[in-house]
Amino acid sequence: MAAKATEVRALYRAFLKEGQKFPNYNIRQYVKRKTQADFRAHQGEQDSELLAQILSSAKAELEVVRRQALVFHLYARKQKSVMDIPLVQVLEQQLETAPSSAESKRALFQDRDTNTGSY
């Protein structure tokens, strides 16, 4: 039974590791959630025949995940997802493209003067 436990842990880690190879944040998170849910669903299983069947199907699914990660990597977009871009980098880009403070104040007062509504 100890060999099965180490095999299951190795398979779990392999799923998580392969899931991190996807270039898309959403797919990486999906593989992580699906792996955790599937392994937790069969956590207390005691039937050795059923465990062997589950392990063989999990190994087949791992090969599918590996192939899909490779295919997704080959055809990945060059632009990253918003979730992958560090917040510091986004803020720096916004500061570079933002108008100067004098221009922004002038634009703010012009907008206020053209509106007839009260603030």
Per residue in 34-81, pLDDT (tens digit) is 999 999 999 888 888 999 999 999 999 999 999 999 998 888 777 666
* Every domain of the chain and the residues it spans: 2-114
**What token pair was written down for 89?**
């980098």
With CA atoms as reference, report the closest residue to 62 among 87, 39, 96, 93: 39
Q: What is the pLDDT of residue 73?
A: 82
With CA atoms as reference, report the closest residue to 15 among 28, 25, 5: 28
* pTM of the full structure: 0.63
Helix 2-19 and helix 48-74, axial crossing angle in degrees, nearest 10: 20
Q: What is the pLDDT of residue 60?
A: 96
